Amino acid sequence: MARYVLKRLLWMIPIALGVAVLVFTLMCFCPGDPAEIILGSTATQENLAAKREELGLNDPYIIRLGTFLSDTFIHFDLGESWITGASVKEAIAERLPRTLLLSIIQLIISFGIGIPLGVMAAVNQNKWQDNLCMALALIGISIPNFWLALLLVILFSVKLNLLPAMGIGGIEYYILPALAGCTNGIAAGARQTRSSMLDVIRSDYITTARAKGVPEWQVIVKHGLKNGLIPIITVMGTHFGKMLGGTMVIETIFAIPGMGQYIINGVNNRDYQVVQVGSIFLAIAFSFCMLAVDLLYAAVDPRIRARYAKGGKRRAKKA
Amino acid sequence: MKKLGKKLVALGLTLSMFALPLAGCGGSGDGAQTTAAGGSGDGGAESTAAAEVSGGLSSLEDGVLDIGVTVSWETLTPFRSNIANNVPFAYAAYETLAKLTGDKEYIPWVAKSWESAGDGVTYNVEIYDYVTDSAGNSITANDIKWMIDESKEAGLKPCFSKVDHVDVTGDYTLQIVMTEDMVGAFEQILTNTFVVSQAAYEGSKDQFATEIISTSSYLMTEFVADSVISFEKRDDYWQKEELIEPQNAANVEKLSFHLIKEASQAGIALETKTVDAFVQLDQNTATQFEGNPDFTLKAMSYINGYQLYFSGDESRIITDDLNLRQAICYAIDTEGLINGVFAGYGQKMHDPIADTSVGYLEKWKDEEYYDYNPDKARELLEQSDYNGETLVLLATSGSTMQRLCQMIQGYLLEVGINLELNLVDTALYTATRLDGSQYDMTINTVGGDSLPDHWSIRYDCYAYSTGDATGRHDEELAELLRTTWTQAGFTEENIDAVHNYLKDNMYAYGMVQPENIDVWRSDLGLQEAVVTNKGSVNCLSSVYGE
Amino acid sequence: MSEQKMETEPFLQIEDLAVEYYSDGKVISAVNGVSLRLEKGKTLGLVGETGAGKTTIAKSILRILPDVGAKITGGEVKLEGKDLFKLSEVEMRKIRGNNISMIFQDPMTALNPVQTVGDQIAEVVRLHSKGEKHDFVKRAEEMLEMVGIPAERYHEYPHQFSGGMKQRVVIAIALACNPDLLLADEPTTALDVTIQAQVLDLIADLRKKYNTAMLLITHDMGVVAQTCDDVAVIYAGKIIEYGSKEQIFDHPAHPYTIGLFGAIPSMSGDEEWLHPIDGLPPEPFNLPKGCTFHPRCPYATEACRGGTIDMRRTADGHQCRCINIDTVKKQEG
């Protein structure tokens, strides 16, 4: 098992490298001159030329790529933002935790609500509970996040004065943003859970459990849900990955300086350093997320655990 | 049948999802029926239901004046580009040698006095000899020289590249030599040089990225990049009470600036008292506070106007067709634009440059300047060589610009001119704007502290390799421009000559100068608002009640 | 069939059980008025083809038919006089796994893949007895040993066992709480013959130890011969022959039963061809009127095609649902 984890961690290095090269190349061939954006329209030709030279924009692609890769991966020098001059390392160190926290809370709320909805729908297939749950899921997917965000702010901040409308601080600042962004996740979780559970509920071991006299809710959760978790975990994983990158709208509305805004602003300003390094961090964060998903599989399903441990540990005795 | 029913329900839900937000948007738009306090004028109008101004800073519950802003700094370094240069807290963070007020006056700050040596490029500056920063370091002429040299080296603000060299002539005096005699260039150095002790900067662990030591009367107490920055007034400020100019006063004990980019959230922040005031509130959001006695609005002329530039590249049909250009100008209803895009907060322009620029002649406001006249437009269109071709308008893709362009497209279509919109993101715009062969017209918001700043980057055919900013090669205009650039040549006569030349040839059309709106709670008792040269209220120096 | 004394209640009594399935708007009569009796400690073999309704009967006793699509539409099931159909769900749960347990057909899918085998046994113990966790674990280990699996394998998962071992675990689960009645649904069908013998022996030993009654569902006459006291033959949801093992094996009366025996290849003598029963089992939603077997019956007469066919008593005293048993008997000799 430890070998499996180690192997996956090592794999992150080529992934990060690959993302770095890909993003770097894309930014290179994007039209738009960073020097002009930094210096503004009052700059003279000389100013611009000097700036371009300083940023190394005149060097050939290979040299620039090489410099970037060696700076980032060998010296761990993440550089400064071309536009603001702020240290990228500092900025990411501050912003990534906020985005992560927001995404994690969203994930917990989404699946905390989505999984029970899906279970209820599956257990009462085709009855009114099923239709209600799926209707709720549909509403969840259809609601635009920014609309919901503003509604929540009006209700909880302006009218009820319970939660802050924007900004960062303690955990209460993340509740409304998480609620506004979680509706997609609820829908995804509910649908996948329902589908998974429908499969599982027809299984023979469910009948065995009932025949043992296990109470019905235990049959559903302990015997049923636990077996149906694998596809649900997969959906959670990909959803989390999407959220890491996609919280930009929520971050803007709630004035949370996070990774989403950081990178999008970087793209708009052709701030190469920010976009490149930011993308690498997101890629690594996503890789960890996928690793967590795979480890969760192992935690839930002993057959997968055995597969990971294969080739190293002594084989389990067969009858 | 059940399945069909389910599908209909789903469809119905989806449609109502689309309809509701549209209904919501429409609703709030209609709600702003009160007329805006816009219109031409200087300083701008104030609107509040109460005639008397009562209240004061003691009404602040937590003793902190919370101000909402739409731009912020990611790092506090004194070496900055022009991006986010005009944040409302810039002057709380650092002082400069001099300050340009809203009345277009240069007032001394750290520099006691300055004078020109006469040759147009040499200037002598004297700073106060008792300037200290919050750590007790004394500021000498060496610190100023160091800052100017380093800024020039960093190459972030183009104005510093116009400095040839700086010499220290005494403990508190220095001589600045510019590269050429150009109006406003030296003043730009005065207003852009942040005063910082070299020793303090070099002793800082992160080069003032998150913590600063400056000469300002405020101490920075909290900084979260792109979110919050807080200040507290210090009691060991170096300047003598009687010598502090009103525009440099520090009348608030504690301030906190919060970055809120989303327009509706800005309104909510004011409503929920998360902020006590907001600088540069979106015009459409501001309308919800009109007529509300709890809030005071102030609309001031903004430093940039929206200008329409015609391409000067030989390949476009519009370049040599004066009638067509004039037709377009008459076809555009600028009042309509002010109401449709800026909720009435704006004024019509009389020259491509904004009236806040140094050198702008007030008398231009009495001139006739292409008032909305679709009949005249059609007449001129007849006389022109236009044959129904589709013209291309290049602009950035922000929502305000989009609305503006769509309205213009509508106006031109009315008189029979076909327009295609090419809206691109900022970076792509920056890359394309100088290439006049890519468009017939482009909309931009080019400002400038003084007229020559603006002219030199737009109409000078020697400025870029391709000609002027739209690819035009008008040497006669370049001549006229250059006469105004020098100190001596910066006369009303010469300025007027350029203005008239531009008007006769219609190379550019000044459309709308939007108003900047600042809002604050009436119980703050703001009695006298100090207006900056950026068209905003200086919250630190304004006079409040007790 | 052993003469029944009406005074003593039989241990298990199924009276007129009727179960319907619903699928695609069609109603399928899976079990059509089935009546059975079982004494304590005895084995009743329930024989029939696939789809005859055997598993349905077993699941009905435990009331674990799927909620959607299946319904018990009539009859009574009495365990020691108590009508199980009248019990609440909570009371029924106390009986499941405790007084009545079930062994399922396919051991490969009958166990929960994500739970250790030991825990699965301990779970049924925990549900039906008081005590601490270590008590349950101990009992589970005992059961493992009893079925021939070393107790160290408590913490292993089903996928680490072979089919035969898995079935042993299923048996361990079923017998952990010393049930009075064991429902064995084709417990050896999915296993190979050598393992089959082991499993049957195991079941027999345990039953002897605890005096458990068993309802053994199978389609294998050999297994019936080895383990059962009484036999009921079921066809299309109805019992068509019912008697003791000796009676059924020595004097089968129903044409279907005769056909079943005839289809078994003889170990003595040369057989070139197998003798299957002609035709196919009827569509469950479209049962033939009268005797459901008549389309395939070589002895069918006009009278067989209509009306209800009741149970008749045969010469040696067992029951048979055929109006022509005399004719059949004569022909078979």
> What is the secondary structure of B42-81 as a DSSP string?
SS--EE-S-SS----GGG-TTS-EEEEES---S---S---
Give me the pLDDT at residue B26, please: 37
Q: Note whether residue C142 is domain-resident.
A: no
CA distance B195 to B189: 12
| C-beta atoms of C110 and A226 within 8 A | no
B positions 260-299 inside 8 Å of A (CB): 260-262, 264-265, 268-269, 271-272, 274
| CB C189, CB C218: distance < 8 Å | yes
- The pair of three-digit structure tokens given for residue A85, joined into one six-digit string: 């001059």
Residues of chain A found within 8 Å of residue B81, distances taken between Cβ atoms: 38-40, 83, 85
| Tens of pLDDT, residues A98-143 | 988 898 899 999 989 999 999 999 888 888 889 998 898 888 889 8
Q: Say which residue, B43 or C47, is predicted with more confidence.
A: C47
Q: Note whether residue A245 is domain-resident.
A: yes
Give every residue of chain C whose pLDDT is below 70, as ranges. Answer: 1-9, 266, 329-333
Residue A158 has pLDDT above 90, yes or no: no
Q: Note whether residue A85 is domain-resident.
A: no
Q: Does C107 touch chain A (CB under 8 A)?
A: no
Nearest to B437 by CA among B461, B457, B409, B467: B467
Give the percent of chain B with pLDDT over 70: 91
Give me the pLDDT at residue C219, please: 82
Residues of the domain holding C209:
12-99+179-332
Confidence of residue B16 (pLDDT cuts 50, 70, 90): low
The pTM is what?
0.79
Domain count, chain C: 1
| C-beta atoms of B13 and A142 within 8 A | yes
CA distance C232 to C239: 7
Mean pLDDT, chain A, whole residue set:
86
Nearest to B36 by CA among B242, B262, B254, B290: B290
Confidence of residue B10 (pLDDT cuts 50, 70, 90): low
CA distance B497 to B515: 28
Confidence of residue B47 (pLDDT cuts 50, 70, 90): low
| Tens of pLDDT, residues B377-420 | 999 999 988 888 899 999 998 888 999 999 999 999 999 999 99
Q: Note whether residue A319 is domain-resident.
A: no
CATH number at residue A179: 1.10.3720.10
- Which chains share 3+ C-beta pairs under 8 angstroms with B? A
- How many CB contacts within 8 angstroms connect chain A with chain B? 155
Q: Does A150 touch chain B (CB under 8 A)?
A: yes
Q: Does A94 touch chain B (CB under 8 A)?
A: yes
Q: Does A93 touch chain C (CB under 8 A)?
A: no
Residues of chain A found within 8 Å of residue C151, distances taken between Cβ atoms: none
Q: Note whether residue A132 is domain-resident.
A: yes
Give the percent of chain A with pLDDT over 90: 15
| Tens of pLDDT, residues B294-314 | 999 999 888 888 999 999 888
| Tens of pLDDT, residues A253-308 | 898 998 888 888 888 888 888 999 988 888 888 888 888 888 888 888 888 888 88
| C-beta atoms of A139 and B272 within 8 A | no
Give me the pLDDT at residue A316, please: 47
| Domains identified in chain B and CATH numbers | 71-259 (3.40.190.10), 306-515 (3.10.105.10)
- Which chains share 3+ C-beta pairs under 8 angstroms with A? B, C
Nearest CA in chain C to A124: C68
B positions 81-110 inside 8 Å of A (CB): 81-84
CA distances from C234 to A224, B160, C281, C326 (A): 34, 102, 12, 20
Confidence of residue A42 (pLDDT cuts 50, 70, 90): confident
| DSSP H stretches of helix in B165-293 | 185-192, 198-203, 263-271, 283-286
Residues of chain A found within 8 Å of residue C160, distances taken between Cβ atoms: 306, 316-318
Residues of chain C found within 8 Å of residue A303, distances taken between Cβ atoms: 113, 157, 159
Give me the pLDDT at residue B21, please: 47
CA distances from A112 to A188, A241, B343 (A): 12, 18, 44
Give me the pLDDT at residue B411, please: 93
Q: Note whether residue C173 is domain-resident.
A: no
Q: Note whether residue C65 is domain-resident.
A: yes
Residues of the domain holding A172:
96-258
Give me the pLDDT at residue B82, please: 82
Task: Compute the average pLDDT of residues B186-198.
Answer: 92
Q: Note whether residue A27 is domain-resident.
A: no
CA distance C192 to B517: 87
Confidence of residue A313 (pLDDT cuts 50, 70, 90): very low
Q: Does A318 touch chain C (CB under 8 A)?
A: yes
- How many CB contacts within 8 angstroms connect chain A with chain C? 88
Q: Note whether residue C288 is domain-resident.
A: yes
- The pair of three-digit structure tokens given for residue A90, joined into one six-digit string: 């500092």
Residue B345 has pLDDT above 50, yes or no: yes
Interchain contact C/A (3 or more Cβ pairs less than 8 Å): yes
Residues of chain A found within 8 Å of residue B209, distances taken between Cβ atoms: 86-87, 90
Burial of B65 (0-12, 13-18, 19+ CB in 10 A): buried
Give me the pLDDT at residue B332, please: 93
Residue B40 has pLDDT above 60, yes or no: no
Q: Which amino acid is at B246?
A: P
Question: Closest to A142 (Cβ–Cβ): which among B17, B268, B269?
Answer: B17
| Tens of pLDDT, residues B500-531 | 999 999 999 999 999 989 999 998 888 888 88
Give me the pLDDT at residue C153, please: 92
Confidence of residue B2 (pLDDT cuts 50, 70, 90): low
Q: Does B464 touch chain A (CB under 8 A)?
A: yes
CA distance A141 to B159: 51
| C-beta atoms of A269 and B426 within 8 A | yes
**How far apart are the two ends of chain B, measured CA to CA in Å?**
73
Give me the pLDDT at residue A318, please: 44
Task: Compute the average pLDDT of residues B182-195.
Answer: 90
Contacting residues for B298 by C-beta, under 8 A, at least 6 apart = B44, B45, B46, B517, B518, B519, B529, B537
Nearest CA in chain A to C91: A213
Mean pLDDT, chain B, whole residue set:
85
Residue B49 has pLDDT above 80, yes or no: no
Give me the pLDDT at residue B18, please: 56
Give me the pLDDT at residue C125, please: 92
Q: Does A227 touch chain C (CB under 8 A)?
A: yes
Residues of chain C found within 8 Å of residue A309, distances taken between Cβ atoms: none
Span of A177-186, B151-160, B529-538, C281-290 with lowest mean pLDDT: C281-290
Q: Does B32 touch chain A (CB under 8 A)?
A: no
Domain count, chain A: 1
Residue B116 has pLDDT above 70, yes or no: yes
Q: Does A265 touch chain B (CB under 8 A)?
A: no
B positions 224-243 inside 8 Å of A (CB): 224-228
| Tens of pLDDT, residues A185-204 | 898 899 999 999 998 988 88
Q: Does C170 touch chain A (CB under 8 A)?
A: yes
The alpha carbon of residue A58 and the mean position of all alpha carbons in its chain are separated, in whole angstroms, by 36
- The pair of three-digit structure tokens given for residue C59, joined into one six-digit string: 């699941």
| Tens of pLDDT, residues C9-18 | 678 888 889 8
Residue B37 has pLDDT above 60, yes or no: no
> Which of B81-90, B174-183, C265-274 has maximum average pLDDT?
B174-183
CA distance A159 to chain B (A): 9
| C-beta atoms of A33 and B9 within 8 A | no
Q: Note whether residue C22 is domain-resident.
A: yes
CA distance B159 to B149: 12
Task: Compute the average pLDDT of residues B225-250.
Answer: 90
CA distances from B263 to A150, A162, B69, B86 (A): 11, 21, 11, 19
- The string over C92-118, giving b where at least 16 C-beta atoms fall within 10 Å of a residue's C-beta and e elsewhere, is bbebbbbbbbbbbbebebbbbebbbbb
Give me the pLDDT at residue B233, please: 93
Q: Does B430 touch chain A (CB under 8 A)?
A: yes
The strand pairing partners of C233, in sequence order, are C47, C241
| C-beta atoms of A208 and C94 within 8 A | no
CA distance B245 to B106: 11
Give me the pLDDT at residue B194, please: 93
Which contacts of B60-63 are long-range, i.e. CB under 8 A and separated by 24 or more positions? B60/B276, B60/B524, B61/B273, B63/B253, B63/B254
CATH number at residue C81: 3.40.50.300
| DSSP H stretches of helix in chain A | 2-28, 34-39, 45-55, 61-69, 88-123, 128-142, 145-152, 172-181, 183-201, 204-211, 216-218, 226-246, 248-253, 259-268, 272-300, 302-309
Residues of chain B found within 8 Å of residue A84, distances taken between Cβ atoms: 73-75, 83-84
B positions 56-85 inside 8 Å of A (CB): 73-75, 77, 79-84
